[in-house]
């Protein structure tokens, strides 16, 4: 997630879906649509982690008549109450005024305001390899425009858990949200598999 001092925002998510098998991650599919990010009433909402519960949560958010982060938090808490040890899920909610809120399953989906550093580009990362992605993004934005920097960052951390394509949602201050999909370069030799659950 990039936010600019002039009110611009760029949110991105990859299409990779992975599972752990024998202690190692394996890519099982790439989501063809842009489901990890939804837009609703001018909000850009990233939700990724536990695949089935995130799908339920995104459907719930889409059903709301307005985006209410406290209500989203309560619903997520109910979804995850039977599995409190699942700490793999996170949400970013970027409001139309460019304020950003975060919620993590590891923090029982407590709504956290993420303030903007007004004098510079604000970079937030969430998900697999987020620390490495943050470092790469900070370097990439020095030499590239925001979209190219975001794509380069995703390519730089591509692996079993990250890859496929990147879905980019951008907005300039007061503007509409624009979606763009860019294929990523998956590294050679990543573990892929089809698993049949019994």
Higher pLDDT pick, 34 / 59 = 59
Q: How confident is the model at residue 91 (pLDDT cuts 50, 70, 90)?
A: very high
**What pLDDT was estimated at residue 194?**
66
Residue found by looking up tokens 């907005």 in the block: 171
In this model, does residue 157 exceed pLDDT 90? Answer: yes
Confidence of residue 6 (pLDDT cuts 50, 70, 90): confident
Class of the CATH-defined domain 2-183: alpha beta
d(CA 72, CA 55): 13
**Where are the domains positioned within the chain?**
2-183
The 3-class secondary structure across 144-178, one letter per residue, is: CCHHHHHHHHHHHCCCCCCCCEEEEEEECCCCCCE
What's the pLDDT at 101? 96
Tokens read off for 162: 């990250």
Return the pLDDT at 174. 83
Task: For residue 90, name the pLDDT band (cuts at 50, 70, 90).
Answer: very high
Please say if the pLDDT value at position 197 is more than 90: no
Give the pLDDT band (50/70/90) at residue 153.
very high
Please check whether residue 127 is in contact with residue 48, taking contact to mean a CB–CB distance below 8 angstroms: yes
């Amino acid at each position: 997630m990039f936010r600019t001092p002039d009110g611009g925002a760029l949110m991105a998510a990859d299409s990779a879906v992975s599972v752990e098998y024998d202690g190692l991650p394996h890519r099982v599919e790439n989501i063809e649509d842009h489901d990890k990010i939804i837009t609703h009433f001018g909000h850009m909402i990233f939700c990724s982690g536990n695949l089935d519960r995130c799908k339920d949560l995104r459907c719930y958010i889409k059903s709301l008549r307005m985006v209410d982060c406290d209500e989203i938090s309560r619903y997520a808490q109910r979804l995850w109450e039977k599995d409190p040890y699942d700490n793999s899920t996170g949400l970013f909610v970027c409001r139309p005024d460019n304020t950003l809120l975060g919620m993590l399953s590891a923090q029982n989906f407590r709504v956290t305001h993420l303030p903007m550093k007004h004098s510079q580009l604000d970079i937030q990362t969430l998900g697999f390899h987020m620390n490495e992605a943050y470092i790469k993004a900070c370097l990439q934005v020095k030499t590239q425009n925001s979209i190219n920097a975001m794509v380069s960052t995703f390519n730089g951390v591509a692996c079993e858990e990250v890859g496929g394509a990147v879905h980019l949602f951008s907005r300039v201050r007061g503007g509409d949200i624009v979606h763009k999909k860019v294929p990523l370069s998956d590294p050679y030799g990543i573990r892929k598999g089809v698993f049949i659950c019994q």
